[in-house]
Amino acid sequence: MRTATIGQRVKIIKQKFMHSLGLPFRELLPEQLFEEALSAEGITYRERLFSPMVTVWAFLSQLLDQDNTCANAVSRIIAWLASEGQPLPSPDPSAYCQARQRLPEGLLRRLLCTVGDQLQAQVSDPQRWRGHRVLLVDGSTTLLPDTPENQAVYPQHPNQTPGCGFPLARFVALFSLHSGAVHDVQIGSWHTHELTLARPLYVHLQPGDVLMGDSLFCTYAEVALLQGEGVEGVFHMHGARTVDFRRGQKLGKDDHLVEWCKPRSCPHGMAPEQFAQLPEHLRMREVRYPVSQKGFRPKKITLATTFLDPVAYPKEQLAALFARRWEAALDLRCIKTTLGMERLTTPTPEMARKELIAHLLAYNLIRAVMWQAGEQCGVDPLRLSLQDSLRHLRHFLPELAHAPPRKRQRLYALLLFTIARKVVPKRTNRNEPRVRKRRPKPFPLMKKPRQILRRKLAA
């Protein structure tokens, strides 16, 4: 009898989540996908209220809510069960927190990659760049709660006094230029090199893809690795490499073909056996173009690319393509500020990694709503506001959860229409000073551990 009661309550919670979080969520994260992911991870579980699927959906709704506490997620489930006359679980969130801890990291990562691939599959050939799938790689950092477990795996920066700083984790994500979705992410400590984190992401690249990145990725080893897999590259030129347009095969003004020579020493983070297999020379194309902005001196940007044909890939088109690389940095900023990923909340490294992956999964699901809104209303989905989309979604969720089927369809169509009405203007070569107008409160910075300061106050 108890098993039947739990099964009925789980069914009600699943229906509520599916109804409230919208059609793209149901299409991208159906129950069958969960079962396949669980089977692939070799996970078996006994029937309980917080099953893996319910826990993941509660985790996502928690991150999408302004009150993103575990207690609020449990309170939402209690309200849904109460509306259906079902037995209510305890309001203590410990059972839900334990269910989150039981979630395998591999399950969340598999769901993240699957949703990213499904969004990319919706991109048509005309929406691609000259028939190529373009992906962006970029990295950032996030703060973790100051616990001994987090400090052991993700130590704080050495310029901070012990006990006065926060654990710092570095992550590198692979974005789609066309859909804005995240395909995968790698996480490490702050002193882990971004190239070390980026290389495992290359398994998601396919022959004919284009990878764009900043000057950090413009190395001989990275280009050789990508070319070995049939992947093209467009990178900002590394400052340590000398560029002389008087040499090489001239293709036009500030446009030539040159030959890069293999470095003598193996780069950090690459196995010597892998380095030995790299070719001795690479044929590369280097281009330079000016960037003008009102109120600033003109500057020139130099690119290194594996697109050697100046007719099929003119310099102007490469420059226009690379100008969109900034979208990856903007996406990371939106994820960290809009979704609250600048500071994670979980006290252990394992849960911190799960929370970061869950944030990116929630971001992908929002991108799915934005994509459907753009396609339905004839607007470029990448020009829609992520912050406004999340705001509208939050306000529509309670209405969608309790509306009957016909009204729910109408509300969801109105949600998409509302999201598509806010188009972000193009801001070419935008440059803003990194300053703050709001003054902080006049409290001194903590330069000693809190327990020492408390003893001084008590003395």
What digits encode the pLDDT tens for the residues 407-459?
Answer: 888 888 899 999 999 888 776 656 667 787 888 888 888 888 888 888 888 87
* CB 44 within 8 Å of CB 52: no
Residue 17, pLDDT > 70, answer: no
Residue 74, pLDDT > 60, answer: yes
- Asked if residue 127 is part of any domain, the answer here is no
Question: With b meaning 16 or more CB within 10 Å and e meaning fewer, what string describes 23-60?
Answer: bbbeebbeeebbeebbeeeeeeeeebbbbbbbbbbbbb
Average pLDDT over residues 295-309: 84
In the chain, the number of structural domains is 1
Average pLDDT over residues 358-369: 92
Q: How confident is the model at residue 218 (pLDDT cuts 50, 70, 90)?
A: very high
> What is the CB neighbour count within 10 angstroms for residue 266?
15
- Spatial distance between the Cα atoms of 347 and 352, rounded to a whole number of angstroms: 7
DSSP-derived pairing of the beta strands 210-213 and 299-305: unpaired
* CB 116 within 8 Å of CB 182: yes
- Asked if residue 235 is part of any domain, the answer here is yes
Alpha helical stretches, state H, 378-421: 386-402, 405-420
Average pLDDT over all residues of the chain: 87
- DSSP string of 355-374? HHHHHHHHHHHHHHHHHHHH
DSSP state of 327: H
Residue 4, pLDDT > 50, answer: no
**What is the pLDDT, as a whole number, of residue 15?**
65
What digits encode the pLDDT tens for the residues 378-413?
Answer: 999 988 988 899 899 888 877 877 778 788 888 888
Q: How remote is the C-alpha of 389 from its chain's centroid?
A: 17
**What is the pLDDT, as a whole number, of residue 1?**
34
DSSP-derived pairing of the beta strands 255-261 and 281-291: antiparallel
The closest of 319, 340, 317 to 386, measured between CA atoms, is: 340
Host H or E run for residue 284? strand 281-291
Beta strands in 177-244 (DSSP E): 182-189, 210-213, 232-236
Q: Give the CA count within 13 Å in the CB-facing half-sphere of 235.
A: 24
**What is the pLDDT, as a whole number, of residue 3?**
44
Average pLDDT over residues 41-57: 81
- Asked if residue 337 is part of any domain, the answer here is no
Residue 328, pLDDT > 80, answer: no
DSSP-derived pairing of the beta strands 168-176 and 281-291: unpaired
Hey, is 230 helix, strand or coil?
Answer: coil
- Spatial distance between the Cα atoms of 212 and 313, rounded to a whole number of angstroms: 15
- Spatial distance between the Cα atoms of 106 and 409, rounded to a whole number of angstroms: 34
Tokens in use for 267? 């780069």
What digits encode the pLDDT tens for the residues 107-147?
Answer: 999 999 999 998 999 898 888 999 999 999 999 999 999 99
What is the residue range of 258's domain?
215-324
- Asked if residue 148 is part of any domain, the answer here is no
**What is the pLDDT, as a whole number, of residue 175?**
93
**What is the pLDDT, as a whole number, of residue 47?**
75
- Asked if residue 375 is part of any domain, the answer here is no
Which segment of 149-158, 193-202, 285-294, 310-319 scores lowest on mean pLDDT? 285-294
Q: How confident is the model at residue 298 (pLDDT cuts 50, 70, 90)?
A: low
What digits encode the pLDDT tens for the residues 227-243?
Answer: 999 999 999 999 889 99
78 phi and psi angles, rounded to 5 deg: -60, -45
> What is the CB neighbour count within 10 angstroms for residue 277?
10
**What is the pLDDT, as a whole number, of residue 285?**
96
- Which residues, listed in sequence order, are joined to residue 260 by a DSSP beta bridge? 282
- Asked if residue 265 is part of any domain, the answer here is yes
Alpha helical stretches, state H, 134-290: 148-153, 194-198, 220-228, 272-276
What digits encode the pLDDT tens for the residues 242-296?
Answer: 999 999 999 999 999 999 999 989 988 788 999 999 999 999 999 999 887 665 5
- Asked if residue 395 is part of any domain, the answer here is no
Average pLDDT over residues 329-350: 88
229 phi and psi angles, rounded to 5 deg: -100, 5
- Spatial distance between the Cα atoms of 377 and 299, rounded to a whole number of angstroms: 38
What digits encode the pLDDT tens for the residues 18-30?
Answer: 555 555 566 677 7
Q: How confident is the model at residue 90 (pLDDT cuts 50, 70, 90)?
A: confident
Residue 31, pLDDT > 80, answer: no
% of the chain at pLDDT higher than 90: 47
- Asked if residue 43 is part of any domain, the answer here is no
- Spatial distance between the Cα atoms of 410 and 128, rounded to a whole number of angstroms: 32
- Spatial distance between the Cα atoms of 101 and 89, rounded to a whole number of angstroms: 19
